């Protein structure tokens, strides 16, 4: 696992964008896994800038989003489909038929989740998966206790996740209690996982992810077993890492490692 610490959120976002852009330039038909939430917004803004000012080309890219609230239509302002359209897709030249965001309105959920897995496989698997992390250490909507071998499925959100997301809704009771999410096993099959975290509220979860035991109670900790995982943090999110100096030393000397 590579741990990169930047002084600010803006620097963190630019570093992440460079990794995504480099992967796209190396493979124009990249299969890109995407996340929602406040953390990747800086990454998406920088990718939009690179597209508009530097010609970064998304025309052959296929995207798969991690999750979606069950019960919300894509036109709902708090749906993740709406989030992605307004914060990334409508600003770049990605083809609409190459965009996959889980549907929150399907009737046969089990069949739909199996179809989503099949579409990922049909696309050749995810090359680069962008991730965030919850305060309790979850990735996507894989709440504490989720199997580390789990696949795309419906999950029940924890009280903490519902409380964290309540600020986006008019009333706390409006927050959906269920979601469709890629499983930890699905995420772990991506060839490269890129996790972003910023702010002091994520410091404990980040420490557990990077330096704690591998456990289903911190589903992000499964990334310790991934052959190519990159964690990019700002100073506040990195504050509780015990080996921070070592991670920085590795990053500063990366040219000797051919990175």
Active site residue 67: yes
Beta-carbon neighbour count of residue 147 at 10 Å? Answer: 14
Active site residue 11: no
Q: Kindly calculate the radius of gyration of the chain based on its CA atoms and give it in whole angstroms.
A: 17
Encode burial over 229-246: b for 16+ CB neighbours within 10 A, e otherwise: bbbbbbbbbbbbbeebee
User: Sheet holding 31-34: strands in order across?
Assistant: 2-6, 229-234, 192-197, 128-131, 31-34, 62-65, 99-100
- Of 67, 68, 117, 127, the catalytic one is 67
- Of 46, 117, 138, 189, the catalytic one is 138
* Cα of 230 vs its chain's centroid, Å: 12
Active site residue 136: yes
- Of 117, 127, 143, 189, the catalytic one is 143
Active site residue 204: no
> Which H/E stretch holds residue 143?
none
- Of 46, 68, 117, 136, the catalytic one is 136
Task: At 98, list the tokens.
Answer: 């190459």
Active site residues: 67, 136, 138, 143
């Amino acid at each position: 696992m590579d741990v990169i610490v930047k002084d600010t959120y803006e620097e963190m976002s630019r570093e992440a964008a460079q990794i995504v852009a480099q992967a796209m330039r190396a493979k124009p038909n990249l299969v890109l896994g995407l996340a929602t939430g406040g953390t990747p917004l800086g990454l998406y803004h920088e990718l939009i800038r690179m597209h508009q000012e530097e010609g970064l080309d998304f025309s052959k890219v296929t995207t798969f989003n991690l999750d979606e609230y069950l019960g919300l239509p894509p036109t709902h302002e708090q749906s993740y489909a709406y989030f992605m359209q307004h914060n990334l897709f409508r600003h770049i030249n990605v083809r609409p038929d190459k965009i996959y965001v889980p549907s929150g309105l399907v009737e046969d959920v089990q069949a739909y989740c199996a179809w989503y897995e099949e579409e990922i496989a049909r696309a050749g698997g995810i090359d680069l998966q962008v991730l965030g992390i919850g305060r309790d250490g979850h990735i996507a909507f894989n709440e504490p206790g989720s199997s580390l071998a789990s696949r795309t499925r419906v999950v029940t959100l924890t009280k903490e996740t519902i409380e964290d997301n309540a600020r986006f809704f008019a009333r706390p009771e409006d927050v959906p209690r269920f979601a469709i999410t890629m499983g930890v096993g699905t995420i772990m099959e991506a060839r490269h996982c890129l996790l972003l975290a910023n702010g002091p509220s994520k410091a404990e979860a980040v420490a557990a992810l990077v330096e704690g035991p591998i456990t289903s109670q911190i589903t992000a900790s499964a990334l310790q077993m991934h052959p190519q995982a990159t964690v990019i943090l700002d100073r506040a999110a990195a504050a509780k890492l015990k080996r921070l100096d070592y991670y920085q030393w590795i990053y500063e000397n990366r040219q000797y490692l051919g990175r």
